[in-house]
Amino acid sequence: MELNTGKLLAFMYWLLLANLVLARQDFPLDHLRPKTSLHDQRQAAQDLINRVLGDRGKAFQVILRPPPGPTNLDIFNLLSDGKEVTITATSGIAAAMGFYYYLKNYCNCQYTWAGAQLNLPDPLPVITSPGKTVTATNRFRYYQNVCTVSYSFVWWSWERWEREIDWMAMNGINLPLAFTGQEAIFQRVYIKLGFTQEDLEAHFGGAAFLAWARMGNMEGWGGPLPQTWIDVQLILQHQILTRMRSLGMIPVVPGFAGHVPKAISRLYPGSKYMVNDDWCGFPKQYCCTYLLEFSDPLFQKIGTMFIQEMEAEFGLDHVYNADSFNELTPKSSDPEYIRSSGKAIYDAMLQADPQAIWLMQGWLFQSSFWKPPQIEALLTSVPQGKMIVLDLFAEISPIYSRTNSFYGQPFIWCMLHNFGGTMELFGDIESVNKGPFDARMFPNSTMVGTGLTPEGINQNEIVYELMNENAWASEPWDLTEWVSHFALSRYGTSDENIDMAWQLLKKSVYNNTGNFDGHSSDVVPTSRPRLIPPLNHKIWYNTSDLYQAWGYLVKASASASLQNNTLFRYDLVDVTRNSLQILSILYYVEIITAFNRNDSATLQDGGAKLLKLLDDLDVLLGSDPHFLLGSWIKDARQWGENEEQQDLLEYNARNQITLWGPNGEIRDYAAKQWSGLISGYYKPRWELFINNLTACLAKGTKFDQAKFDEDNFLLVEQPFTFSKTEYPSQPQGDSILIVLDIYKRYYPDTQSEFFNHLLRFSMEGKKRFMEKTKNRMIKQWHHYSREWKYYDSIIDIPNITW
């Protein structure tokens, strides 16, 4: 009875909202609507809740209503009498977002990639009438980089996809990329146009390299793509699209960007195309893909056929991603040429789908080729509102602010945060916290959403939780308070040590404020060993904060309520991993300094310490299911229907995370600190290096970096990629006991005065970098950070004790 009165009041309140919510964005994007009826979205949201909570999901009631008044923003209202929670919302996504809002903010729960903490209080927290109402701050929440599907999702079965789509919905994602299975559609189009299987085998990428073949960066590498893969991924895409749509998401599917098989020159001798430059130094067989000339009639033909085939297979959702110039330079900088390219891409979409919207990654604009006239030409080549641009790296290098808000085209403020799915603890949380608000306040801002565009997931979950809350946050957070609540909901228990640990991480690893490059490049354990020039891993924080945070987590591990908590164990392993990673810089510098001083004893001492650290790291990572090479390989092999295919898929899996290309073209870009990879790949490299340096001192010979690199490739790196050695896909040992032992043994070395020098040199480098790159493009960082080798200076400090 009480509840019914409450529901009635909530409904009246809902109607009242009509007067309160006047926000409306004036873009002709209104036709982008979920394909599913509210009735069916309601069922989908209810099913999601049951999947996440099991039996306790029964306590949640979802009611969907059309939005009150003229708003096109998602709204949810939460009411709870302690026994039943009523979520009234405008869409399945709004309901799922309301559900997670309740879990997180009232029940102190968390649901993330590494696991879930869903210890619900009983009775459930009460929210009295008129309840808690939240309106999304923008129309869209976007998710995925075009690379994420290759770096992180590549081996996923439906079961894992299903969990991810639940996660997306709970975080309000309503505009997800859905790129799976597109090779099946391209295959149909090209076969109709006369191409052969062999032509296409040379064109499609291998299973782990599809993202870059699709973008025309290279082709055929890791192939030939098995037909079973193509067929099974198509089935998977049906499952993905069906689920996304049922919840009210608008999936973004591929459009035609112009990248065509090279056989086009044989089949259509009159066709015009440009030959792209070699991307990252791939051999001829894989590089220099063909980009069909935008004015060639075949462009419209293929582009239209592609969307028609998609429509026949899946139906239409109207949003298409196409990137013709992702890390590829257009053949001409003439704005007229650029304009005609944009027009051709969009026209091909439009011919097949009169409601087409072109969604473009704004990554290309990070390149210095793109100056204001070129950017403006591309962005104004289609009518306003017919394009959505992703400001892909907005937390570090926003484009909207230097293009008058994309010259009037709607854009989405995206956090990229991660390259290659590497694992260093890192974040610029000040920018993530404030950036979207600044972008909305920008004069004549055309921002229509927020988004996540990491190249890889499964790292730094705190940064993504924070970014996702920009879906509904009404102002930036007080980060101290926010972090306390994050820690509380992550483990479901308040604990002083835990709070101290996370506050320290917040001010250190997660406060990379001011666009400072350096993270995840030249990370000692996972980098190819180098004496000349020395590795150059910069740090941007006082390492003492990281090590103290580690100490607090170790202390907290004595707490009974934390010991069996999956997310706590994961964090304990992850922070220990990162602490060892930073500590390894000390041993590395000890090694190279000793070598340069002809000090063989110290060299061997440093070498032994580094190798022992790598052994310990491997054991540590092997104790948690999230850090296992064995799982990555097993998941890859499951997609092969015979041994030959399984072996090829395993090769894809191994190559992507190590050599990335036949000869190490993008070596270690997607490095992973995983058990098995440390023992089977990284450690043998370091062993070879240390042995060689030691032998050079003994014989009085010079160290030959080039020769070492060659031997390293032939003796360690390449053999690893061809190897079939099996690694455990189940964790071994007790993480807590392993960490306690590691902490005891390594803590003293974390106190080395060396780290204060390292920070000082890093900061000086940062200052110089900032002065030098003022008003310049971000891409130039990398050159600069290579130029400036501060270890050289550290090595000259006379009285560091190792």
Ligand X SMILES: *[C@@H]1O[C@H](CO)[C@@H](O)[C@H](O)[C@H]1NC(C)=O
Binding site for ligand X (CB under 6 A): 430, 443-444, 479, 506-507, 511, 513, 542, 544, 560, 563-564, 597-598, 692, 695-696, 699-701, 704, 707-708, 711, 756, 759
Shortest Cβ distance from residue 45 to ligand X (Å)?
33
**Sign of the CA dihedral with 524 first, then 525, 527, and 530 last:** positive
CB of 557 to ligand X, least distance (A): 12
Cβ-based nearer residue to ligand X, 597 or 745: 597
Query: What tokens appear for 431 in the block?
Result: 């920018």
Nearer to ligand X by C-beta: 639 or 681?
681
DSSP structural state of residue 277: P
CB of 274 to ligand X, least distance (A): 36
* Inter-residue contact 366 to 326 (CB < 8 Å): no
Residue whose CB is less far from ligand X, 20 or 118: 118
Identify the three-state secondary structure at position 415. Answer: strand
The residue (of 3 and 759) whose beta carbon lies closer to ligand X is 759
Q: State in angstroms the smallest separation of the CB of 762 from ligand X.
A: 10
Give 1 or 698: the residue with its C-beta nearer to ligand X: 698
Strand partners, 77: 88, 133
Q: 3-class SS at 285? A: coil
Nearest to 90 by CA among 130, 34, 131, 168: 34
- Decide: helix, strand or coil at residue 30: coil
Give the other-Cβ count within 10 Å of 778's Cβ.
15
> What's the closest the beta carbon of residue 120 comes to ligand X, in angstroms?
17
Cβ 515 vs Cβ 531: under 8 Å: no
- H or E stretch including 87? strand 85-89
Q: Are 700 and 654 in contact (CB under 8 A)?
A: no
Residues pairing with 388 in the sheet: 359
The secondary structure of 693-709 as a DSSP string is HHHHHHHTPPP-HHHHH
* CA–CA dist 608, 600 (Å, integer): 12
Q: Are 117 and 110 in contact (CB under 8 A)?
A: yes
Helices (H) and strands (E) in the chain, counts: 32, 17
Q: Which amino acid is at 326?
A: N
Spatial CA neighbour of 52 closest among 90, 3, 7, 95 = 95
Tokens of 682: 């990284």
To ligand X, the closest distance from the beta carbon of 122 in angstroms equals 18
**Residue 756 Cβ vs ligand X, minimum distance, rounded to whole Å:** 5
How do 290-292 and 259-260 pair as beta strands?
antiparallel
How far are the Cα atoms of 669, 690, 716 from residue 708, in angstroms, in the given order? 20, 11, 11
Question: C-beta of 510: minimal distance to ligand X in Å?
Answer: 7
Nearest approach, Cβ of 50 to ligand X (angstroms)? 26
Q: Which is nearer to ligand X, 242 or 756 (CB)?
A: 756
Find the shortest distance in angstroms from Cβ 565 to ligand X: 9
Residue 562 in 3-state DSSP?
Answer: helix
Minimum separation from the CB atom of position 526 to ligand X (A):
20
Give the residue among 234, 233, 351, 339 at the shortest CA–CA distance from 295.
339
CB of 558 to ligand X, least distance (A): 11
Q: Which CB, 64 or 467, lies closer to ligand X?
A: 467
109 neighbors 117 (Cβ within 8 angstroms): yes
| Residues 215, 296: Cα–Cα separation, whole Å | 19
* Spatial distance between the Cα atoms of 664 and 684, rounded to a whole number of angstroms: 17
Comparing CB distances to ligand X, the nearer of 237 and 446 is 446
| Overall size of the chain counted in residues | 802
DSSP code of residue 715: I
Q: How far is the CB of 401 from ligand X (least distance, A)?
A: 12
For ligand X, the closer CB: 261 or 731: 731
Cβ nearer to ligand X, comparing 759 with 777 = 759
CA-derived radius of gyration, the chain: 27
Residue 496 CB, nearest approach to ligand X (Å): 18
Nearer to ligand X, 504 or 659 (CB): 504
Name the residue nearer to ligand X (CB basis): 173 or 696: 696
Which long-range contacts (C-beta less than 8 Å, at least 24 apart) are formed by 741-747? 742/576, 742/580, 742/616, 742/620, 743/550, 743/551, 743/554, 743/576, 745/616, 746/579, 746/580, 746/583, 746/613, 746/616, 747/547, 747/551
Phi, psi of 504 (to 5 degrees): -70, -40
Q: Which is nearer to ligand X, 208 or 696 (CB)?
A: 696
Sign of the alpha-carbon torsion through 538, 544, 548, 554: positive
Smallest distance from ligand X to CB 138, Å:
19
Token output for 454: 């990491």
- β-bridge mates for residue 450, sequence order: 141, 413
To ligand X, the closest distance from the beta carbon of 445 in angstroms equals 10
| Contact indicator for 490, 110 with CB cutoff of 8 Å | yes
* Nearest residue (CB) to ligand X, 711 versus 787: 711
| Residue closer to ligand X (CB basis): 12 or 558 | 558
Instruction: Using DSSP, state whether 512 is helix, strand or coil.
Output: coil
Question: Which residue, 180 or 380, has its beta carbon nearer to ligand X?
Answer: 380
